[in-house]
Amino acid sequence: MRNDYHTVKGYGESEIIIQKSRFLTYVNRAETEEEAQDFINSIKVKHKDATHNCSAYIIGEHDHIQKANDDGEPSGTAGVPMLEVLKKQGIKDTVVVVTRYFGGIKLGGGGLIRAYGKATTEGVTAAKVVERKLHHLIKVSIDYNWLGKVENEVRNSEYPLKDINYAESVEVHVYVKAEDESNFSDWMTEMTNGQCKIEIVEKEFLEFEVN
């Protein structure tokens, strides 16, 4: 299972005009091929009067699903450069559709490649790139006399505090990166003189926006 990877935060759209042609870009996260195809089809319905609705997507932990569609543009001038933008930026689980309304001026093969590449880059920027990092949600059970110290130390640390459950004992829920689990456990054990119980509750990804 991957510990961290880049993808888009969510839906985004942009528009550029090149030689009187309008390029409308739509980007979204897609974790399955079905989700990607549904998104592409929704844009095609929205812009059924467009000259072209070109698309590309890259899905899977090892990018094992990669598709590019020129939708009538000369072969290799639209879908492939769109896909290359995603690959170059290291983005996974992402689908892009670039809708073109022809403006009457032909761009040529090189011009089309640059146009679709630029349109995709603008769309990805609009959707925002995030890094998803695998974290373990760890429950630290302690006596109430340790609460003040533990809470203060956690809040001033790099570990995000999810919540605190006040029961028979105090349960402090903290997000810890998978690779930091051992260091966190040692830190908690030392802080409480060994008077804590540490359990992994679940694993989940937290997202951090990439500038």
Look up residue 169 and give its amino acid: S
Query: What is the average pLDDT across 127-134?
Result: 95
Q: Is the pLDDT of residue 127 over 70?
A: yes
Q: pLDDT band at 180, cuts 50/70/90? A: very high
Tell me the whole-structure pTM to 2 decimals. 0.85
Q: Is the pLDDT of residue 22 over 70?
A: yes
The reported pLDDT for the residue numbered 52 is 97
Query: What is the average pLDDT across 56-75?
Result: 96
The reported pLDDT for the residue numbered 2 is 75
Instruction: Say how far apart CA 204 and CA 52 lie, in whole Å.
Output: 39
Residue 18, number of CB atoms within 10 A of its CB: 18
Q: Is the pLDDT of residue 1 over 70?
A: no
CA angle 166, 172, 173 (to 5 degrees): 120
Tell whether the torsion through CA atoms of 116, 126, 13 and 64 is positive or negative. positive
Model pLDDT for residues 70-96, shown as the tens digit of each residue: 999 999 999 999 999 999 999 999 999
Closest CA to 91 of 14, 10, 37: 10
Please compute, for residue 111, the number of CA atoms within 13 A of its CA located in the half-sphere on the CB side: 10
Q: Which of 2-11, 27-36, 108-117 has the lowest mean pLDDT?
A: 2-11
- 22 within 8 A of 100, measured Cβ to Cβ: yes
Structure token pair of residue 3:
């510990």
Q: Is the pLDDT of residue 157 over 70?
A: yes
Compute φ and ψ for 139, nearest 5 degrees. Answer: -100, 120
Q: Mean pLDDT for the chain? A: 95
Instruction: Say how far apart CA 13 and CA 124 lie, in whole Å.
Output: 8
Q: What is the DSSP letter of 103?
A: -
Look up residue 52 and give its amino acid: H
- Cβ partners under 8 Å of residue 18, min gap 6: 107, 111, 115, 118
Q: How far is CA 211 from CA 26, 45, 77, 171, in A?
A: 20, 33, 29, 35
